Amino acid sequence: MVFDKLRKAFSSKPSSDEEYLEIDVEQEQKDHKVLIKLYMLRVYDDINEILAALREGYTITLIDIKVLRQKDPLELKRAISKIKKTVDALDGSVAGFGDNVIIATPSFARIHKDIPKPRDDQQKRSKFDY
């Protein structure tokens, strides 16, 4: 009896009751496009939303840290440390941009961190520049 049910289940001819395909209409369709999201870090707990977005794998985050920097520099240091650890675990990149913005990316993106040195015009002059 059990073997008959298994044979029917694996047979090449579907029975008339099983000729339809069930589709879950409520299943969310996700776009796998890259998102760039802007966040403002006001308190330490704001990093939870940032970390969740990074873990999805398709989000580059730009984080404004100015408010938390002015409020509590120690909390800012904790928040940045946690963001760095999470991004390192995801094989991503983190970089500061100016004094108040941090950029964090997942593994598909890298941040080029080559900062050009300021030119010292006094040392670069030759005798022909006068």
Q: How far apart are CA 89 and CA 27, in angstroms?
A: 29
CA distances from 130 to 2, 109, 118, 125 (A): 99, 46, 21, 8
Q: Where are the domains of the chain?
A: 32-107
The rounded mean pLDDT for the chain is: 79
Is the pLDDT higher at 120 or at 62? 62
Task: Write out pLDDT tens, residues 4-48.
Answer: 665 666 665 555 555 666 666 665 666 667 888 999 999 999 999
What pTM did the predictor assign?
A: 0.62
Kindly give the pairing relationship between strand 93-97 and strand 59-64.
unpaired
d(CA 66, CA 58) in angstroms, rounded, equals 25
Q: Is pLDDT larger for residue 100 or for residue 114? A: 100
Band of residue 51 on the pLDDT scale cut at 50, 70, 90: very high
> Can you give the pLDDT at residue 30?
60
Q: Quick one: fold of 32-107?
A: Translation Initiation Factor IF3 (3.30.110)
Strand partners of residue 103:
62, 95
129 pLDDT above the threshold of 60: no
In tens, the pLDDT along 68-106 reads: 899 989 999 999 999 999 999 989 899 988 889 999 998
Distance in angstroms (rounded) separating the CA atoms of residues 9 and 12:
9
Q: 83, 95 in Cβ contact below 8 A?
A: no
pLDDT for position 57: 82
Least confident range from 45-54, 90-99, 108-117: namely: 108-117
